[in-house]
């Protein structure tokens, strides 16, 4: 099939949120598509769409995500625009994506994965173990909150929402003694000046799909499918197939402290998973290795193992 490529007069419309990180991800997608098909930037149009999760008042008020919705907070308006035909593809941080897409949409393109690790952000310290007793830690992530309290139950964890720049300003204003970001975001924004220390996955297992850019399209759009196939990174897709199968089987949501990481090592796939009580009082972890092609089944089996170990009542969200 011959692809009808976009042109400056009829550009491919790329939908994205408007944060600096979201735009950086959209620009990377544009650059990779342009390189793959030898097309200039003018062949693409970046369309910024404001989502519910970007509501400035809710960010400033540090409203917890679970109070105002779920993962669809960062995708709903973008997906509606794509279904209307206002945009052709949508660029997302995959960790923000629900495991199921709306009817008519598909998420099957992933760019090469960036650094998966969390970053400890503090102007003077390099580890949660360096924090004084009762220190104030800012994060909007239920996973990080649970992991922090599991390791350091003495800490005072406060809600800390907003994009990278907003969170850094809150830290500078003294709202908390430290905060956390994803290393991938810091690297994609070239923010070498941020006082960040990478945290090994052994110390803080990252969010499922952390560090990955996912590109969504309409399921019946053969042109978008053909173009995106050219920039899809196979290994990242294999890793995410295992991680997102684990998440789906755990019924993951924004009210769920879940961590997971799949890595390809020596021709095999290693999958680690962790579930925690929201208050950090208990954490259950699993670590398995198998064939890369078995990744999705590994994820499903691991989820059942974790749920069995957790027992009834482990998660409030399952009651």
Active-site positions read 96
Burial class (CB in 10 A: 0-12, 13-18, 19+), 105: middle
Burial class (CB in 10 A: 0-12, 13-18, 19+), 267: exposed
**Contact between residue 143 and residue 207 where contact means Cβ atoms under 8 Å apart:** yes
Question: d(Cα 295, Cα 305) in Å, to the nearest integer?
Answer: 15
Residue linked to tokens 């789906």: 248
Instruction: Tell me, rounded to whole angstroms, the distance of Cα 64 from its chain centroid.
Output: 17
Helix ranges restricted to H, the chain: 20-37, 56-60, 65-68, 76-84, 142-151, 164-172, 183-188, 222-229, 234-249, 295-310
């Amino acid at each position: 099939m011959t692809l009808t490529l976009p042109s400056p007069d009829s550009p491919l419309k790329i939908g994205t949120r408007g944060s600096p990180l979201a735009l950086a991800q959209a620009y990377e997608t544009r650059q990779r598509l342009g390189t793959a098909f030898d097309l200039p930037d003018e062949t693409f149009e970046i369309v910024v769409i404001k989502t519910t999760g970007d509501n400035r008042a809710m960010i400033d008020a540090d409203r917890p995500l679970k109070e105002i919705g779920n993962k669809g907070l960062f995708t709903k308006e973008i997906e509606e625009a794509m279904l209307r035909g206002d945009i052709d593809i949508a660029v997302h941080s995959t960790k923000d994506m629900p495991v199921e897409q709306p009817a008519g949409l598909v998420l099957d393109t992933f760019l090469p994965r960036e650094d998966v690790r969390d970053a400890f952000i503090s102007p003077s310290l390099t580890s949660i173990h360096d924090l004084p007793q009762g220190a104030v830690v800012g994060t909007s992530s239920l996973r990080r909150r649970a992991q922090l309290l599991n390791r350091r139950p003495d800490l005072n964890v406060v809600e800390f929402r907003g994009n990278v720049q907003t969170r850094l300003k809150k830290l500078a204003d003294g709202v908390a003694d430290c905060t956390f970001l994803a290393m991938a975001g810091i690297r994609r924004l070239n923010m070498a000046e941020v006082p960040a220390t990478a945290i090994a996955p052994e110390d803080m297992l990252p969010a499922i799909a952390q560090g990955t850019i996912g590109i969504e399209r309409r399921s019946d759009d053969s042109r978008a499918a053909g173009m995106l196939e050219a920039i899809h990174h196979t290994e990242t897709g294999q890793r995410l197939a295992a991680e997102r199968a684990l998440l789906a089987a755990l019924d993951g949501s924004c009210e769920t402290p879940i961590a997971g990481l799949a890595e390809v090592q020596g021709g095999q796939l290693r999958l680690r998973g962790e579930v925690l009580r929201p208050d950090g009082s208990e954490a259950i972890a699993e670590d398995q290795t198998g064939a890369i092609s078995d990744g999705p089944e590994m994820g499903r089996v691991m989820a059942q193992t974790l749920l069995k170990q957790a027992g009834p009542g482990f998660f409030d969200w399952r009651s």
